[in-house]
Structure 1
Amino acid sequence: MSERPAIEAIDDETVEQARDQAAAAQRVIVKAGTNSLTDTDSQLDRVKLDKLVSDIMTLRERGKDVLLVSSGAVGAGKGLIDEETETVEESQALSTVGQSHLMRHYTQSFDRYDQTVAQILLTEHDLSNP
């Protein structure tokens, strides 16, 4: 039986420095993954989404610029269609269905704070040709 190497812990000073830098940042990028937006049945979880929006608005009230990068379109699509995907094309189809569902819920949630939302859909070309 082979022994796995121990994971090196980050010292408290490094953690504290990272927290201080994050607190001092003017711009915050929030990445919301599919699991943080959906429940165990792959349905879009409005409570989770509303909590995320509330947290973002708290940051904005503190004067932070916030950019939300959101996954979840495929998960939202699965929740609507209740189909598993086996191919890239099937995932793309679920994403197409789920994207409008996801944006509708973001719009409704941000409306509570009189905030307008917009989306930018990125392609591989956008990321490989900055």
Structure 2
Amino acid sequence: MNREAFSTIKSLVVKVGTSTLSYKNGRLNFHRMEKLAHELSKIRNRGIKVTLVSSGAIGVGAGRLFLTKRPEELAKKQALAAIGQAQLIKIYQKFFDDYNQSVAQVLLTKDVMTHTNRHHNAQNTLFKLLDMGIIPIINE
């Protein structure tokens, strides 16, 4: 996307997944994450509201434990997601801090999206973060 296209954009949502964030062995690709933080910070500094949607927590958790196969059991997937999400947000925070850009972790569930009051509260939170110049990092 060229600079002229950015002149009309007010907000941008970027989605990244496991294949973007990690190597094939499941370990995090720090270089790619740092570059992402740098580019999104530059966009935010142009006055564009940026939201990062980051999946990949299960894959990162599996990589952290050196697992070679993705589990099928829900409880194990959730455990790996908890491990991976903690790792992801820690790394994101470090890289965005390098560019003086504040971020916030926002975890959304299907329940939040399907209940009107909860959905409204989550939406208000996201809008407020964006208005404050914060980059929300959203995951389920």
Quickly name the TM-score band, shorter chain normalised: 0.7 to 0.9
CA distance in 1, matches of 2:72, 2:27: 19
The aligned counterpart of 2:34 is 50
Unaligned 5+ runs, structure 1 = 1-18
Greater relative CO, 1 or 2 (CA 8 Å, sep 6+):
2
Q: Give the distance between the partners of 2:114 and 2:29, measured in 1 at CA.
A: 32
Structure having the higher Rg:
1
- How do 1:44-123 and structure 2 match up within 5 A? 44-83=28-67, 84=69, 85-123=71-109
Aligned length: 111
2-structure distance, mates of 1:126, 1:28: 22
1:23–1:32 Cα change, 3 Å: farther
Distance in structure 1 (CA, Å) of the matches to 2:18 and 2:8: 28
SS of residue matched to 1:31: strand
Q: Which amino acid aligns with 2:43?
A: L
How far apart in 2 are the matches of 1:88 and 1:36? 24
Deviation string for 1:46-83 (max 9, x for gaps)? 01111111110121122211011111211110111122
Larger strand percent: 2
